[in-house]
Structure 1
């Protein structure tokens, strides 16, 4: 085996090993679950997750709470006897996710440029007559230089996007910020036959944006993170194989 062949074999072995390591991350679990429904994740406290990070945002100065003596009405309450809206850690509220994203962009660019330059050396202290002695062939001083260039660019592009998501999900208040805003987190999993659909919502909300029915629109969530996806046989078929994904990443052309 020549040195060049050995070098090529080493590169192939390295790429094959890298692809096998990527594919082996969850290959065992996928093989073990052949013929079974995708398992649902356990209900866990999102605060104890290793990826959980408390939210820290700029806060205004806290305002003093004014209590009115001999008054049954509580500031911010929408019910005379009790406010049913979520306001403490652990409370549940409903998030109405409604996303209608439409965008159409068209762009066209066209440029054209033509230039031409001519220069003649008819008299140069009489030295123009000596050009025939310097150059191998006679040169016409009246046509000493003639330059020309043409440049043209034509480009166009179009982007059309239409996305619609409408659903509701219950979320839990995981943190109450110093100014009264609340951090919510909700996750929903629905399994139909061999396919699981996952919906995840998190963000920061204001108590004033919660309706009397204890619901809030997704458009009222600051720093919103909405994820909707699936797991199962259909999702696996729609995705490219690990080798193809690795090839698309490392192939330079």
Structure 2
């Protein structure tokens, strides 16, 4: 077996082993970016309350806006994804044609042909007939639903005030790890009074929810089956 063959086989195995969920490298990159955003967050301003004030050094101002607006702030995302699509098509077509033609006289050659073939009749010597019929139909349907809450971190603030958020959540139950990854761009005016925003208001939203464990492995195809599905030409 040549080196080229081994390289192709290795590439196919790697392709077959790719999971639909976020890779460990992607999760690590998100963690680093969120940690960097929190490290770059501005320091909290000390309270201006004087001696005898009802508000202490560690308490927030009574009229302060607690909505996310700067790097390092956190915001709650209300996941409410419901998608459904249906598409159907039906086509029916039919066509039939029939033609007959003949030559009553053609320089006497019709008599010569008739002598050689008694069944030859010049008046009806040409005839064509075609028939074409097509009947096709197709239908597709897909639906998906995802609900819940997730908290993300502001990792960047643009000049127009829009913010890029990122976050991930990992939940382990009976050795089954469920990873949820969320990223996108939000507007400050879409943030609600409770410092939350719905997932439908996130631009360029990317939401991934995938598991890794015994259940996920049982639902996945074997690597050889994936390879065959990838290279099988029929």
When normalised by structure 1's length, the TM-score is 0.69
Contact 2:166 2:183 in 1 (8 A): yes
Q: 1:164-221: per-residue Cα shift (whole Å, max 9, x none)?
A: 1101111111111121111111111111112111111111111000001110000001
Q: Any conservation in 1 of the 2:177–2:211 contact (CA below 8 Å)?
A: yes
Moved more, 240-249 or 141-150: 141-150
Match of 2:212 in 1: 231
Cα distance, 1:233 vs. partner? 1.3
* Structure 1 unaligned residues grouped into runs of 5+: 1-9, 28-37, 50-78
- Across the aligned residues of Structure 1 and Structure 2, the Cα RMSD in angstroms comes to 3.1
Q: Is the 8 A contact 2:114 2:121 kept in 1?
A: no
- Offset at 1:25? 9.1
Distance 2:129 2:14 in 1: 61
Q: Distance in 1 between matches of 2:99 and 2:34?
A: 73
1:90-169 alignment, distance < 5 Å? 90-132=72-114, 137=117, 139-169=120-150
Q: How does 1:163-182 map to 2 (within 5 A)?
A: 163-182=144-163
- Contact residue 23 and residue 242 of structure 1 kept, 8 A: yes
Q: Does structure 2 conserve the Cα–Cα contact (< 8 Å) formed by 1:181 and 1:204?
A: yes
1:93–1:215 CA contact under 8 A, matched in 2: yes
> Structure 2: how far apart are the matches of 1:80 and 1:142?
106
Determine which of 148, 152, 166 is the counterpart of 1:185: 166
Task: State the shift of 1:19 in Å.
Answer: 4.0
Q: Distance in 2 between matches of 1:24 and 1:191?
A: 26
Tell me the alpha carbon deviations over residues 110-144 of structure 1, each in whole angstroms, 9 at most, x when there is no partner: 111111111111123433223358xx645321222
Query: Partners in 2 of 1:20 and 1:241 — Cα distance?
Result: 15
CA contact (8 A) 1:19 1:243 kept: no
Shift in Å at residue 149 of structure 1?
1.1
Q: What SS does the aligned partner of 1:45 have?
A: helix
Give, in whole Å, the separation in 2 of the partners of 1:212 and 1:121: 92
Mapped contact 1:19–1:242 kept (Cα < 8 A):
no
Partner of 1:44: 31
For these two proteins, the number of residue pairs brought into alignment is 199
Q: Show the counterpart of 1:53.
A: none
